[in-house]
Structures are given as structure tokens and as C-alpha cells.
Structure 1
């Protein structure tokens, strides 16, 4: 038999995971919660991870990155999340924006943005969602028109992560063809200090250092080179960033599931209530925790499979696998946090353990960056060949 499948990660990635886990352990969930309650970002952790090269493992080496794939970056985020330090900006800045710029940016754009994204010294947000479009990217109304050798951008965006720490935003808009009037998708790199750019924070009940914003762009003037790549390939460029987004979101969710499970298992091993036996010896708790472990490992395997397909250049196969991974990881994360709270009882909602705040955060995994319903629509239509329902 030839071509046997190997489910073991490369030794380099195993070593990367261990190194990131060691770094994250120096900060941990208490650091994360403290920064979140202060309304501040994980600046210290982000900077140290950047200096060590962890934030740019997927960025080409010629721009200061590690030259690896999205699977390597996903491993970094999973280990940070497993230590209680998940951050959406890893999904956004090096994964979505770094990938799009590396694949489609001009040499000048790559040189301008990628070195900073690789080291974490620069952060780029990503803006696609609009108030009246939601999950329907075809209803995006942010438009750009050519004027005076440059662009004029107008539109609104909502639920855009990390604009307060970003140097620029990769904005998804549309360009109108002057001859046909046809609108085509296009991406623009917009520095956050551009006149006409306004960001307003959305107050959220989730305790997180990653803040959400509404964006307002009114007659925002950009130079010609703000347009990323080829406007005729706008959708291709967009989906080149969305598959990594789903893979990274899945890794954040599986890491968060591991974190909650670790807390529950540690508590179940030590907590004694009846017959001098730890509560983890009782099947009423042991079996649900075992189920969480199984479901989390299944989601991790699917996520690694999706990353492998993407990194091998199989964009079509990666789309299916990435959506499935994101779905499985979100479900595992929600179940893990819920069971961890149940295992700890009243302590599950005590601030000391940090699981109460994780309830809302885990629920977000089912909604963003794509809802579970849209994933099911995708699988029904693309994988099963069923008629489109929307």
C-alpha cells in the first residue's frame, strides 16, 4: 500500500504549539479577564508573540514571516485560546488580511503592510458586514467610485473587530463599471486616520478585549493604490480570506473548548462531596466530560484537515472543510463551556473561575464569523446538492 495517510502534525508544528503554550501560560486567563474588564487590549501578549514570530508564521519569509501555512497560524491561536487568551485579532489581521495581501496585493502593498503584520507591530481589521446586509454579501452597498486618479468610498459597516487597535482596515466594497453599470466586489486598504473615516464602539455584554465597532465612511478619499489586487477578481480574493477566517475561528473555538474542559476536569478530580470520592468518579459528570473530549478532538481533526486542504491549494475542498470545521468547533465549544459550568455548580458562575463570562463568548462561536445556519445552508447546497433555500 502506498500513500498512507498520516494524522500526526509535523514535528515543527508540535514544537510551535509547545512554545506558544509556554508563552501563553505566563499570561493566562486571569490576565485576559483583567485586560478585558479594563477595556484594554492584550497588548503585552500580542507584542511578545509578535517578537517571537508567532503572529506571522503564515506570512512569506521575504516579508519577515515564518513562511508557513494557515495550519501553523491556527495552531498558535488554538494554544493561546487553550491557555485562556483567545483573540479575534489573530483571526483578522494575519489570517484574513495577511493572506489576502500576500496572495493578491501588489509588491508595494505587500512591502507596506506584511512586515508589520508579521511582527504584530501593525494590526489590520477587516470590514465586510453591513447593517442591512448581514450574512448576504451580495447586498453590500459600500461603494467606491473613481475620481481624480484615486477613489472615493462611501458606506457603513457594523460589528467590525479591533478597529481601536488597528492601523488600517481592509474594507470590502463594490466598484461600479462606468460602461456597464455592473457592480463588482473590491477590497480597499483604508488607514484608520483617513479623513472621512469614523468608528463608533458597539457596547456588548461579552467581556472581551476585542471590541466591536460601527464604521462610517463618508466621501472618504483614497489613493489609487488603496485598491487591493484586481477588481475583476474581487470575489476570488474575498473568499481567499474567508476560508482562513473559518479555520481560525474553529481553532479559537477548539482552544476555548479545551480551556473550559481543563478547568472542569481539574475541579472534578479535586472536589469531594460524598464518600470521600471526587465528583469526577461519578458517571453523571464523567460521561458528559468524556463526550466533550471526544467532540473537541473531532472538531480539532476537522480543523486540521481544513487547514491542510487550504495550504495545499485546494480552495474548493477547503471551503467545504472550513465550514464543517467551524460548525463542529462552535458546537464543541458551547457544549464544553456549558458542561464546565455544570461541573463546578455555583462556582461555575464565580468570577474566580472565569467560566461565567465564557458562556457568552462561547455562544458567539455559533454566530460569527458565519452563523451555524449559513454553514448548514452551505453544506446542504454544496455538499449534498440540495436546492438553494434562500
Structure 2
């Protein structure tokens, strides 16, 4: 065997060991075999073998005898690591430790176990939950007139409030043993989505008590006495809860709150008791104007050691439950955040409460931040993603109707390529949004996935914003003119609320997703940090060498998969989706390597380089989103229409991954590391393309048709409001149009050729029948189509008195008829 062939075989063997992630002992044995082979081939003489064998034996003992390795190798690294390890505050630690890792950890670690994704079960709706959607939700939507709520009343009608209370809409998450509905997260998500397709105010009113609020905190942390005191009222609706967290000085950084409670003695109900004297100012608090019980977050201080620990003064963030009518508590004025849901301020000056009002009792003093982070991470995966999914479902269904009925230059606008650029995005994003909604909500039913819910909140609300903007562009004047016919304007105005609350999107993307994900999802980083904190050299040694092998393996895998177009990666399925799974595995390995090298090179400085970390977070996010899409497709009917939407979504995700990697690499501040990472991630260059015009046109055409995917992506839209409901009238037009469109097309072609006499549609139809060009039945169908077509494109107009606030000046039917009477053609 020639030396060249042997060298090639040896190189391939080394590469193979690195690619499969062989353990250290296998590398040691392989190195020994290499020395023997070199001797047999005559490359090494006796002297060379002796020298090489001595070096080999020394390294083999040093690396494989752990006590020796810890003493000579690991100990100095351990000391250096502890010096450069960034300090972590108690609140940062609590945020990191809160919640669970889930599928995102598989994508972050570079070798996803696809069976975990394929075997994961969506949470099915129980018969009771499905019945609630089909009956209670339908009835509630029918009670609500969104135009009157937003423009006239600035509040839900009393009948709606009563129905919400009576049917336990505010107690979906409270367990049945306490009288609540005990719904799954997936069911809660479906309820909020359906209500949001009717009214944002209605949906927000219902979702907030079922997200971060007293009900959930009591369920998880409350004492038996607190649950007995408050849960019956929360279940019956007698008690309306709100939670006071944000304030003038406090937005996404809740730890900066100035609201303070001092432990002291005071008088309560005629007795001297140990309690807390509070001063606080909260704003942006949903349901505050109508709340009867307030969950309050504040910083707790015990200067006199009255809680039993004289050495501890500052306890940190604490949560308490306070009746809204408690002395000193002031429910302030209302905000108006782009929609009419109740939102306002809460103030308190020298408010004294017993220490027993701390949620969980005095033992939970100072543990409020952990409580809030855990509850918020779960709620973040339900409420705002549900609003986003509602926007996607409504836009998909309604732009399909409008794009088919509205004509310009004698062509349905849905057929114009410029319009299809927008409607294709609407279709693709609607598919992604529903895939993420059901996946993330089902995950919340299985665990408390903090990183996944942050990904869902940020990306779904951003897609919501883009989808609504595209819908507004397509429907143009039909969307911007507000009135009883408009189903877009309220969502457009309220979108910034979803972007801002439960962690502003800028903070979520730039700090949370990668900052939390890199530490929690990584197989080694957080355990290494914990080993350093606990001064555990043995654990750190084991983790360090595992980490080194991990990084080498991911680098080699990413480079190899990049060179081969991911053909060596595993795909858990055959067919159309197999290449997407392989490319996801390639980018997963690239993310793992880049994250490792980045943290190693930049260390604690990465914490302040938000644009870099955000791009790595984007990679992780898009890998999760692509997983949701693939899972959703595989769980569905797998029709050609479904496949077209899934491929659009996966093409979009993989382009966004490559785009994020490219931006990260171009801006990485260390030249040699930048070169290494670009070589590994894009060894042949970045050739990932955005969604093609052909694929975008395919889904844009499908949005205009009756397909199985149309129903799957809009199944939660409230459709039964009748012909005077903004969505109901579009649904009526679609139903009529599908039966009569052929006759109208025949009439339209005749009219376009100038073969019919008359100035109006009715006159031309009579002429067509008289001349035998159409039958009476066809003319009747064409007239029916034209009637609903015209209704689809109409907008509302109002009298000056009504606009000025005299809402008795015009009734709904007057407004409706005014638009119809304006027709001249």
C-alpha cells in the first residue's frame, strides 16, 4: 500500500471518528493502531516508534486517567474559567432555571433525534372542549358587535360580560376540582383564537385571566386558605382579576420596579398584625378598571428581620393578592391601547396588608420573580400566539374572498402577480402560524418550555404584523375605511399591543431567545457554569472533555453536510419533505458549532453584543418553526394543496436561517473565527434562495379556491354571524359565489365583448335573456353573484352626527342601506 493511499485512509478514518462523535477511548485506540500501521509500513523505524510511542503513552495516560487529567490539565482551565465567567444575578439565575427545555434543545445540540418530533402527540380537544368551542364560543361571538364595542361603547356590553362570567370563560385554566373548566393549553389557545376572529377586545378580556394572573399563581403557589378564599369567586366571575407588574419605570425589565413593600406591624381589621406597607404605581394593567382583586408584584424589604431571618433585609420581588377596595388602593384612569379592552392604572400609598396575603404565604417572600417567569413563559405560548393565529386565519379566508370577487381591469385582483406577492405571504404565514399554535400549545400541556414560548411569542406576533399589513394592502380602501363591514382595522390598530406586551419583541429577540436558549439548551454550558459555581472540579472535568468532543463533532458534521448538500444527513421520512429534514440537521450542526466557538471567543462580552446573539437566536427560532411546519404537514391529509403550503413555509424558514447565518458571519468581530465559521457553515458559499415566484404564485392561487387546506387553516374563524356581520357577509358572498360564478362569468364575457345593451347589470341581463344568450335561470344566478360581489367591495359611510358621537343618529341597518343605495351601475 502506498503512503499516499494510507494517508488518505487514515484521514478518512479520523474524519469518520469525528463525524460520528467517537468517545475519547476510541480515539486513543485509533491513535495506537495508527502508530502500529506506520511501523508496519516502514514509515517509522525503531527509534521513531520509541519516541512516538512514548509521546502516545504519556498523552493516553494524561487524557484517560481522570485523576491525573484533572490535576494537570483541567485544574488550570477550571481556574481561568471561573475568572472569566460572567456574574449572574439571582434574578438572572431564576429566569434561566425557570421552565423546561423541549424540542428546541434537540435543534440547538446539532443532532436532533427526529423520533422525538414524530412521536410527539398534539393535545387533542376533549368532547367537552370541542363542545365549548362549538356552542359557548359561538354564542359569545354572536352577542358581540365589534364595531359598537370599538367605536361606540368602548367596552363589551353587559350581556357579554355576564355571559363570560356565567360560562366560566375566565376560569379555563382553573382545575375542575376547584370548579374551573380545567381546559388544556391547546383548548385555551383555540378558544382565544376563535374569539379573536370576532373581536380583539373580547379575546383579550378572556385571555388575560387565563394567562399571567391570580388564577394561575394561586393554582401553582397559593396556600389552601388562599385558594379557598379566591378561587370560587374567580370561577364564578364574581371576582375579576388583574395583575400589576409593569409601571412607569418598568417595562420588559420587571426587576427594575421601584414599587416597594416594607415588613412591619400594623392594624388590620382591628388587630395588630405582621404585615407589609406598600407604595406602588402600576400602569398598562389589563382589566384594572374593572378588577375586584389585584395580583401585585413589588420588591420586599425587611429591615428589622421580622420575617425570622435577621441577616436578610432585601428579599426581592414578591407577589401578593389584594382586594381592589382595600384601603389605600386606587384604581386609576383608563388607557386606550388601540382597542377597547379594559386597561388602566393602579396606585397605592401606604397600603398595609397582612403578610399572609403574599401568594403562597410568608414562605414565598422574595420568590415572586421565579413565579412570574414560570407562569409568564407558559402564558406566552398560549395567548399572544392565539391572537397571531387568529390574524392568519382571518386574513387567509377573507383575502381569498376579496381577491376572487374584486376585479380591476376586468381581472380578479387575486390573479395579479403584484397582489400575489402579498397573498402568497398571507397563505404561507397562515400555515406557519397554525402549525406553531398547535405545536407550542401542545408543548405547554406537556411541560413548561420557556425558550419555545419566547420563540412563539416573538415570531408569531411579527408574522401577525406582516400578515395584517399584507391584508390591508390587498384590500386597500375596503380595509382602511372603518365601519361595521371592516374586519381588519381593529387588528391593525391593536397589533402593537401584541408586539409590546409579555416581553417587548425587541427584548425577546435580542436578549431572551439565544441568551436563554444557548445556556439552557446546550448540553454542557449550564452544567459547566453550575460546576464552577459549586467548585466541583470532577464534574467540570467530565463536562469539559465532553464539550470538546461535542464541538469537534458538530464542526465536522456541519462542514461535511455543507460540502455534500446535506445528503449524508438523516431524514426520518421519505418523499417531498426528506430534503428539508436533512437541511435542518445540517443547519442544526452549524448552529451548535457557531454557538460554541462564539461563546468561547467572546465569552461574557457576547451578553452585550445583542445583534450577533439575536441572529443566532433567529437560526434557532427558524429551526423550531420549520419543525412545527414539518410536523403539521405530516399530521395532516398530505394533499397537494397542503404540500404547496408546507413547501412555501419550509423554503421561507431555510432562507431565513441562511440569511441569519450570513448576517452573523459578516459582522463577527474576530477575523480568524469569522473565517473558520464561514468555512464550516458555507463551505461552498450560501446558495439558499428565498421562496420562488412560482411557489408563491401556487399558494396565492390556492387561497382563492375551496381546498382542504383552506378549511384546516381557518377552522377557528367565526363564520356564523349572518349577513350583517363583517366576516359573515363575506362568508355569505363566498357561498353564493361558488354556486353562481359560472353564470356570472358567462355574463361578464358577453358584457366585456360589448354584446349586451344597457347601462346597468340588470338591464344587460334582461337583454341577454331576450336575445337568447342566457337562460332566465342563468340570469338569476348572475344577478345573485353580482349582488354579493358588490357587497364584498362596499365600505361604510356615516352622517356627521354619528361620527361626532351621536350614536342614536343612525342605526346599523341605516348605515348598511346607505352604502347600498349609492350604487349607480
**Displacement of 1:378:** 0.6
Stretch of structure 1 that moved more, 350-359 or 124-133: 350-359
Go from structure 1 to structure 2 and tell me whether the alpha carbon gap of 1:119 and 1:299 turns closer, same or farther (over 3 Å shift).
farther
Q: Specify the alignment match of 1:40 in structure 2.
A: 155
Go from structure 1 to structure 2 and tell me whether the alpha carbon gap of 1:140 and 1:2 turns closer, same or farther (over 3 Å shift).
closer
Q: Which has more helix, going by share of residues?
A: 2
1:294-305 residue pairs with structure 2 within 5 A? 294-305=428-439
Q: Specify the alignment match of 1:64 in structure 2.
A: 179
Q: Distance in 1 between matches of 2:513 and 2:195?
A: 29
Residues 308-337 of structure 1: per-residue CA shift (max 9 Å, x gap):
33332x33xx11111111112211211121
**Displacement of 1:100:** 1.0
- Give the conservation status (yes or no) of the 8 Å contact 1:296–1:329: no
**Displacement of 1:55:** 3.4
Q: Distance in 2 between matches of 1:348 and 1:121?
A: 38
Q: Distance in 2 between matches of 1:388 and 1:182?
A: 26
Q: Distance in 2 between matches of 1:183 and 1:8?
A: 40
Are 2:463 and 1:332 aligned?
Answer: yes
Match of 2:501 among 361, 364, 368: 368
**Displacement of 1:96:** 1.8
Stretch of structure 1 that moved more, 246-255 or 88-97: 88-97
Match of 2:142 among 26, 46, 49: 26
Larger radius of gyration: 2
- Give the conservation status (yes or no) of the 8 Å contact 2:298–2:317: yes
1:146-295 residue pairs with structure 2 within 5 A? 146-148=263-265, 149-177=274-302, 178=305, 179=310, 180-204=312-336, 206=338, 208-229=339-360, 230-247=364-381, 248-275=383-410, 277-295=411-429
Are 2:246 and 1:112 aligned?
Answer: no
Q: Distance in 1 between matches of 2:332 and 2:115?
A: 57
SS at match of 2:211: helix
Q: Distance in 1 between matches of 2:259 and 2:317?
A: 10
Coordinate RMSD, CA, aligned = 2.5
Go from structure 1 to structure 2 and tell me whether the alpha carbon gap of 1:53 and 1:163 turns closer, same or farther (over 3 Å shift).
closer
Q: Distance in 2 between matches of 1:14 and 1:320?
A: 29
SS at match of 1:365: helix
- Give the conservation status (yes or no) of the 8 Å contact 1:84–1:256: no
**Displacement of 1:42:** 5.1
The aligned length equals 383
SS at match of 1:147: strand
Q: Specify the alignment match of 2:217 in structure 1.
A: 100
Q: Distance in 1 between matches of 2:493 and 2:461?
A: 12
SS at match of 1:47: helix
Go from structure 1 to structure 2 and tell me whether the alpha carbon gap of 1:33 and 1:151 turns closer, same or farther (over 3 Å shift).
farther
Residues 223-282 of structure 1: per-residue CA shift (max 9 Å, x gap):
33321011243222112321233121221232233234433222222212232x422233
Go from structure 1 to structure 2 and tell me whether the alpha carbon gap of 1:294 and 1:42 turns closer, same or farther (over 3 Å shift).
farther
- Give the conservation status (yes or no) of the 8 Å contact 1:78–1:255: yes
**Unpaired runs of 5+ in structure 2?**
1-113, 266-273, 520-598, 600-605, 611-825
**Displacement of 1:114:** 2.0
Q: TM-score, normalised by structure 2?
A: 0.44
Go from structure 1 to structure 2 and tell me whether the alpha carbon gap of 1:348 and 1:93 turns closer, same or farther (over 3 Å shift).
same
Are 2:256 and 1:139 aligned?
Answer: yes
- Give the conservation status (yes or no) of the 8 Å contact 2:290–2:342: no
Q: Specify the alignment match of 2:54 in structure 1.
A: none
Residues 82-117 of structure 1: per-residue CA shift (max 9 Å, x gap):
223443233321322221111111112112222332
- Give the conservation status (yes or no) of the 8 Å contact 2:252–2:502: no
Go from structure 1 to structure 2 and tell me whether the alpha carbon gap of 1:368 and 1:110 turns closer, same or farther (over 3 Å shift).
same
SS at match of 1:132: coil
SS at match of 2:336: coil
- Give the conservation status (yes or no) of the 8 Å contact 2:288–2:345: no
- Give the conservation status (yes or no) of the 8 Å contact 2:146–2:198: no
**Displacement of 1:15:** 4.7
- Give the conservation status (yes or no) of the 8 Å contact 1:170–1:189: yes
Q: TM-score, normalised by structure 1?
A: 0.89
Q: Distance in 1 between matches of 2:470 and 2:240?
A: 35
Go from structure 1 to structure 2 and tell me whether the alpha carbon gap of 1:2 and 1:310 turns closer, same or farther (over 3 Å shift).
closer
Q: Distance in 1 between matches of 2:407 and 2:175?
A: 52
Q: Distance in 1 between matches of 2:285 and 2:115?
A: 47
- Give the conservation status (yes or no) of the 8 Å contact 2:123–2:445: no
Q: Distance in 2 between matches of 1:372 and 1:10?
A: 30
- Give the conservation status (yes or no) of the 8 Å contact 2:122–2:442: no
Q: Distance in 2 between matches of 1:42 and 1:77?
A: 18
Stretch of structure 1 that moved more, 144-153 or 329-338: 144-153
**Displacement of 1:341:** 1.2
Q: Specify the alignment match of 1:84 in structure 2.
A: 199
Go from structure 1 to structure 2 and tell me whether the alpha carbon gap of 1:54 and 1:130 turns closer, same or farther (over 3 Å shift).
closer
**Displacement of 1:161:** 1.3
Q: Distance in 2 between matches of 1:24 and 1:268?
A: 30
